[in-house]
Amino acid sequence: MKLDRSSALFGKARSLMPGGVNSPVRAFRSVGCDPLFIERAAGSRIYDADGNEYIDYVGSWGPMIVGHCHPRVVHAVTSAMEKGSSFGAPTELEIRLAEMVVEAVPSIEMVRMVSSGTEATMSAIRLARAYTGRDAVIKFAGCYHGHADSLLVRAGSGAATFGVPDSPGVPADFARHTLIAEYNDPDSVEALITENKGKVACIIIEPIAGNMGTVAPRRGFLEALRRMCDREGIILIFDEVMTGFRVAYGGAQELYGVTPDMTTLGKIIGGGLPVGAFGGRQEIMELLSPSGGVYQAGTLSGNPLAMAAGIATLTLLQEKGFYANLEEKSARLAAGLARAAADAGFPVYSARVGSMLCTFFSNREVDNWTSAAGCDTATFGRYFRAMLDQGVYLAPSQFETVFVSGAHSVEDIDLTIEAAAKAFKILAS
Ligand code: KE4
């Protein structure tokens, strides 16, 4: 595969930007090859600077659930652009997207738009601390909630990929209020609550973890967290930046029937433009400036372009059969990948929730960070490269999630399964 232009561009990029990228996991560091520079995308396909075509399962790390360049999204954004990209003033479009979010997400009575998932989680935690008057935050090893200082503790995603789950530059003083529990282990949460009686402001969790690979909550786990929070007056925050509108229109909280006190969103609600959001009960959200004293602000929060992209995307998700069709294709892909590995006699642990899936290079079940961290990341790298060489663009890290979109065809899925059969045969040889 000709990659001359990507290589030349990467060389220039590295002289200008740290690692040649604007977000670490894009650098392909953990999969043993240089990143591709992408020129354009359409539907389920992306095209690199050398004109090579790939079936895309990154989908910009989740936002592109209706596929790239969906005509309805393109039209909405270009129409908004012709009226002005940002005014720094309230617009009707913000009301429209807020209405859609409030209608869709069980826990959200009021919402604040921001420009990234990091801003959403950072702000939600500030609000939870103000509401409870407490400082401590419980998060889970392997979960990633963006790069706010106090959340870069035992973090997943790129932090785990690069072995810096506790990043340099975060003062111990900032991290000391962050308590770490084990995913799928309610006792580890109970122990932290007991040791920090009356001091825990919130528990923040990815209700389906997508940043240590894809790890589903065990039956009863989310319900146990809900009971603990009710008993102790702790705010339960579901970080649905990845799962929101992904695994169901109402997110993981709709899928599992567990309602948090607050929810953070991002990715899909921006339809590929920069949007994050956090919301919850009115009595909590009203503490936020200017209705309350908790300060939070943003130059481009709620800007018309991003709102237009989000509204168009969520409107498409409401179309009859969208999620049923996505479920069918995702199940076909997961079954095909698992069969390809089994036929080659290659040990993997396959995980899937809706259109989020992960092939763990492990011969045991992966249900938390400890088991995820035991995966054979070197062999994952060989698998990634073998798939890329066959025109399949997977997430370039064992600790990420693969996403299926509404634009992926059955033919795309079957081509991917064929590529995997060849890849696993190479790995097993
Ligand atoms: P952003 O600040 O990147 O918009 O969102 C942070 C975030 C918060 N919460 C969850 C559950 C997330 O998955 C993320 C961001 N996800 C990563 C991919 N796993 C973004 C990709 C990247 O870091 O380049």
Same domain as 140, residue 103 = yes
Kindly report which listed range (126-135, 148-157, 235-244, 265-274) carries the lowest average pLDDT score.
Answer: 148-157
3-state secondary structure of 348: coil
Same domain as 275, residue 424 = no
d(CA 164, CA 294): 31
Residue nearest to atom 24 of ligand 1 (CA): 23
What is the per-residue pLDDT for 334? 98
Question: Percent of the chain beyond pLDDT 90?
Answer: 93
Domain that residue 131 falls in:
71-317
Q: Are 407 and 44 in contact (CB under 8 A)?
A: yes
Residue 21 Cα to ligand 1 midpoint, Å, equals 15
Q: For residue 237, what is the DSSP state?
A: E
Residue 116 Cα to ligand 1 midpoint, Å, equals 8
Same domain as 400, residue 304 = no
Same domain as 140, residue 87 = yes
Residue nearest to atom 6 of ligand 1 (CA): 146
Same domain as 304, residue 176 = yes
Ligand 1 nearest atom to the CA of residue 156, by list position: 19
Please count the CA atoms within 13 angstroms of the CA of 320 that sit on its side-chain side: 0
Domain end marker among 302, 317, 332:
317
Residue nearest to atom 22 of ligand 1 (CA): 23
Q: Report how many domains make up the chain.
A: 2
What is the per-residue pLDDT for 174? 85
Please give the structure tokens belonging to residue 85: 């990209």
Kindly report the average pLDDT of the chain as a whole number: 96
Report, as an integer, the average pLDDT of 170-195: 94
Radius of gyration of the chain (CA): 21
Q: What are phi and psi of 130, to 5 degrees?
A: -70, -40
Residue 208 Cα to ligand 1 midpoint, Å, equals 14
Report, as an integer, the average pLDDT of 21-27: 96
Ligand 1 nearest atom to the CA of residue 118, by list position: 2
Pocket-testing residue among 21, 22, 61, ligand 1, by greatest number of atoms within 8 A of Cβ: 61
pLDDT tens digits, one per residue of 68-87: 999 999 999 999 999 999 99
Residue 310 belongs to a domain with what CATH number? 3.40.640.10
Same domain as 294, residue 342 = no
Pocket-testing residue among 113, 157, 206, ligand 1, by greatest number of atoms within 8 A of Cβ: 157
3-state secondary structure of 129: helix
d(CA 80, CA 417): 40
pTM of the model: 0.97
Residue 60 belongs to a domain with what CATH number? 3.90.1150.10
Task: List all residues whose CB is within 6 A of at least one atom of ligand 1.
Answer: 23, 25, 61, 116-118, 121, 144-146, 157-158, 206, 210-211, 239, 241-242, 266, 276, 400
- Amino acid symbol at 325: N
What is the per-residue pLDDT for 165? 67
d(CA 282, CA 58): 35
Domain end marker among 317, 348, 383:
317
Kindly report which listed range (8-17, 45-54, 163-172, 386-395) carries the lowest average pLDDT score.
Answer: 163-172
pLDDT tens digits, one per residue of 302-348: 999 999 999 999 999 999 999 999 999 999 999 999 999 999 999 99
Residue 146 Cα to ligand 1 midpoint, Å, equals 5
Residue 163 has pLDDT above 70, yes or no: no
Same domain as 260, residue 147 = yes
Residue 115 Cα to ligand 1 midpoint, Å, equals 12
Residue nearest to atom 8 of ligand 1 (CA): 145
- How many residues are there in the chain? 429
Same domain as 362, residue 305 = no
Same domain as 337, residue 277 = no
Residue 117 Cα to ligand 1 midpoint, Å, equals 6
Report, as an integer, the average pLDDT of 164-176: 83
Same domain as 103, residue 49 = no
Ligand 1 nearest atom to the CA of residue 143, by list position: 11
Please identify every residue annotated as catalytic: 144, 239, 267
Same domain as 201, residue 77 = yes
Burial 196-218 (b: 16+ CB within 10 A, else e): beeebbbbbbbbbbbbbbbbbbe
Same domain as 142, residue 49 = no
Domain end marker among 317, 348, 363:
317
Ligand 1 nearest atom to the CA of residue 211, by list position: 19
pLDDT tens digits, one per residue of 104-115: 999 999 999 999
